[in-house]
């Protein structure tokens, strides 16, 4: 029988009302057998996540300061949910154990992990599902790196014979028995691992947005949601800062060919975004837009170098890049001309070594002219269909020309999955709106 792994983020489990929505979602589809919860997140914008409160308690405990009052807020949060839902469960024993552990051994990862642990207990009781402690099935090495093969085996053993289970997200245990967590937002990773281990048909990741949007809603009013995106396209957009999912959540499902469906707990009727493998057969789908998404990022600088006959000088580029390398600055893009070379770097990485880099490049290659231009934004237009559609690049530039936006840099990766352009930071929002108009609004049927 088909099965789904469903992960619910912190905002989906922030209070009793959200728990009810989650239970409705789980119960409305009998394939939703394995549930991975986060810790209670924010109920309103300046609320504090339980995970952050636990970090604070641990810090206080580590400095020998009494954390009773802070821990009481955490207790109240869970007890409030329990009594509101009317579930027959008490966490008093668990609270006492956590307090005792923090007093004797205040370890950060252990403290943070308790948010998911306790929430998992409550959710399992409310759903009437089995509780499987992530500490028994997610295995890290002594340095806190995930041991995927061991984990898959342990998950299979831990879930054997169970028809359903709640497995808390975010943490596991090292081979030496120490509790460790993934980085922040890591419940996404747990869900992905469980999906791989149980060979799920789909990994549903429930959050508070209806999937990925074609463009940032702070820039484009009411942008369309992306219905389907490939893992590769997602990687391009995520790199530019479009984040809904933890980066490490991709690999376990991608390698097993399991699609991820990003869904909205507050709007379960929305289809959300489906993330599918790169070789997914799109032929049955309606054609859709030429592009999948647009993302932009500020904070770049370009180092522009000019030297007559540069193209004849063997090793010129290598010497310049070596200077960046030895100063610990990585480069993002490097469009060049016959006698010019321009290298785009992250301004914050360049700043501390700016003068040194300039001096060393001068010394190494003796350019006719060198300058640094700050305030550059990079914009990526991403889409798997661009490869087979003529005129995409022309349309990108036509929209920039109509808006009188000066394009400072152009780059198209060999995969033809994206077109990268550099514009002044002040032009970024308008550039994104124009491209949205050109490809989304004007392609609407």
Q: Which of positions 176-195 make contact with ligand ASP (CB under 6 A)?
A: 184-187
Nearer to ligand ASP, 41 or 259 (CB): 41
The residues in 267-306 that bind ligand ASP, with binding defined as CB under 6 A, are: none
Residue whose CB is less far from ligand ASP, 187 or 344: 187
Smallest gap from Cβ 263 to ligand ASP, in A, equals 16
49 binds ligand ASP (CB under 6 A): yes
Residue nearest to ligand ASP (CB): 187
51 touching ligand ASP, by CB under 6 A? yes
Token representation of residue 48: 């504090």
Show the binding pattern over residues 127-166: x = contacts ligand ASP (CB under 6 A), - = does not: ----------------------------------------
* Rounded least distance, CB 90 to ligand ASP, Å: 23
Residues with Cβ within 8 Å of 399's Cβ and at least 6 positions away in sequence, in order, are 431, 434, 435, 437, 438
- State the angle between helix axes of 108-127 and 16-27 in degrees (0 to 180), rounded to the nearest 10: 60
Q: How far is the CB of 155 from ligand ASP (least distance, A)?
A: 18
CB of 184 to ligand ASP, least distance (A): 4
Token output for 261 = 């469906």
| The only residue of 3, 11, 18, 38 in contact with ligand ASP, by rule CB under 6 A | 38
Residue 120 in contact with ligand ASP, rule: CB under 6 A: no
Least CB distance to ligand ASP at residue 208 (A): 12
What is the token pair recorded at 146?
């995930």
Q: If binding is defined by CB under 6 A, does position 169 make contact with ligand ASP?
A: yes
**Which CB sits closer to ligand ASP, 186 or 383?**
186
Determine the Cα–Cα distance for residues 355 and 338; give it in Å rounded to an integer: 26
Question: Considering the rule CB under 6 A, would residue 114 count as an interface residue with ligand ASP?
Answer: no
Question: How many Å is the maximal CA-CA distance in the chain?
Answer: 80
The least CB distance from residue 54 to ligand ASP, in Å, is: 9
Q: For ligand ASP, which is the closer residue by CB, 187 or 261?
A: 187
- Least CB distance to ligand ASP at residue 168 (A): 10
Q: Name the residue with tokens 């996540």.
A: 49
Q: Considering the complex, state which of residue 184 and residue 369 has its C-beta at the smaller distance from ligand ASP.
A: 184
Count the residues of the shown chain that bind ligand ASP, applying the rule CB under 6 A. Answer: 12
CB of residue 37 to ligand ASP, shortest distance in Å? 9
State the minimum distance, in angstroms, from the CB of residue 182 to ligand ASP: 7
Report the residue from 3, 5, 6, 10 that binds ligand ASP according to the rule CB under 6 A: 10
What six digits make up the tokens of 188? 């996404």
User: Closest CB to ligand ASP among 188 and 427?
Assistant: 188
User: Which C-beta is closer to ligand ASP: that of 39 or that of 274?
Assistant: 39
Shortest distance, position 188 Cβ to ligand ASP, whole Å: 6
Q: Which residue's CB is nearer to ligand ASP, number 170 or number 206?
A: 170
Q: Does 262 bind ligand ASP (CB under 6 A)?
A: no
Closer CB to ligand ASP, 208 or 346, in the complex: 208
**19, 34, 170, 206: which one contacts ligand ASP (CB under 6 A)?**
170
Burial degree of 45 (CB within 10 A; 0-12, 13-18, 19+): exposed
The smaller minimum CB distance to ligand ASP, of residues 192 and 342, is found at 192
Residue from 3, 25, 61, 115 touching ligand ASP (CB under 6 A): that is 115
Written in H, E and C, the secondary structure of the chain is: CCCEEEEECHHHHCCHHHHHHHHHHHHCCCCEEEEEECCCCCCCCCCCCHHHHHHHHHHHHHCCCCCHHHHHHHHHHHHHHHHHHCCCCCCHHHHHHHHHHHHHCCCHHHHHHHHHHHHHHHHHHHHCCCECCHHHCCEECCCCCECHHHHHHHHHHHHCCCCCEECCCCEEEECCCCEEECCCCCHHHHHHHHHHHCCCCEEEEEECCCCCECCCCCCCCCCCECCEEEHHHHHHHHHCCCCCCCHHHHHHHHHHCCCEEEEECCCCCCCCEEEECCCCCHHHCCCCCCCCEEEEEEEEEEEEEECCCHHHCCCHHHHHHHHHHHCCCCEEECCECCCEEEEEEEHHHHHHHHHHHHHHHHHHHCCCEEEEEEEEEEEEEECHHHHHCCCHHHHHHHHHHHCCCCCCEEEECCCCCEEEEEEEHHHHHHHHHHHHHHHHHCCCC
Q: Which residue has 């802070």 as its token pair? A: 70
Residue 403 CB, shortest distance to ligand ASP, in Å, is 39
Residue 299 C-beta: closest distance to ligand ASP, Å: 24
Name the residues that contact ligand ASP, by CB under 6 A: 10, 38-39, 49, 51, 115, 169-170, 184-187
């Amino acid at each position: 029988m088909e099965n789904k792994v469903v992960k619910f983020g912190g905002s989906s489990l922030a209070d009793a009302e959200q728990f009810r929505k989650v239970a409705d979602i789980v119960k409305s589809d009998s394939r939703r057998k394995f549930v991975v919860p986060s810790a209670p997140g924010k109920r309103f914008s300046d609320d504090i996540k339980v995970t952050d409160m636990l970090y604070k308690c641990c810090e206080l405990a580590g400095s020998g300061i009494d954390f009773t009052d802070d821990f009481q807020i955490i207790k109240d949060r869970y007890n409030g949910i329990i009594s509101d839902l009317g579930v027959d469960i008490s966490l008093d024993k668990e609270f006492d154990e956590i307090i005792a552990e923090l007093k004797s051994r205040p370890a950060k990862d252990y403290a943070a992990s308790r948010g998911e642990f306790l929430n998992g207990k409550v959710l399992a009781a409310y759903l009437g599902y089995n509780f499987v402690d992530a500490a028994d099935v997610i295995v890290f090495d002594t340095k806190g790196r995930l041991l995927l093969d061991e984990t898959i085996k342990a998950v299979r053993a831990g879930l054997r014979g169970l028809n359903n289970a709640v497995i808390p997200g975010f943490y596991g245990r090292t081979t030496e028995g120490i509790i460790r967590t993934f980085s922040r937002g890591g419940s996404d990773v747990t869900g992905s691992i469980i999906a791989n281990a149980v060979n799920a048909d789909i990994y549903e990741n429930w959050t508070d947005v209806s999937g990925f949007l074609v463009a940032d809603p702070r820039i484009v009013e009411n942008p369309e949601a992306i219905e389907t995106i490939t893992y590769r396209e997602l990687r391009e957009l995520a790199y530019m800062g479009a984040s809904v999912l933890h980066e490490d959540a991709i690999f376990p499902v991608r390698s097993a060919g399991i699609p991820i469906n990003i869904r909205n707990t507050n709007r379960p009727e929305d289809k959300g975004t489906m993330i599918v493998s790169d070789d997914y057969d799109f032929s049955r789908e309606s054609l859709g837009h030429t592009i999948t998404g647009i993302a932009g990022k500020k904070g770049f600088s370009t180092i522009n170098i000019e030297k007559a006959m540069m193209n004849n000088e063997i090793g010129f580029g290598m010497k310049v890049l070596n200077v960046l390398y030895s100063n610990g600055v990585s480069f993002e893009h490097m469009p060049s001309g016959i006698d010019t070379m321009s290298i785009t770097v992250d301004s914050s990485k360049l700043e501390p070594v700016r003068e040194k880099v300039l001096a060393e490049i001068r010394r190494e290659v003796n350019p006719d002219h060198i300058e640094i231009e700050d305030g550059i934004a990079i914009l990526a237009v991403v889409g798997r269909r661009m490869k087979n559609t003529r005129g995409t690049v022309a349309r990108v530039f036509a929209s920039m020309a109509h808006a009188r936006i000066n394009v400072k840099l152009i780059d198209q990766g060999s995969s033809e999955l994206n077109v990268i352009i550099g514009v002044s930071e002040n032009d970024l929002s308008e550039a994104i709106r124009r491209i949205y108009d050109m490809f989304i609004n004007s392609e609407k049927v």
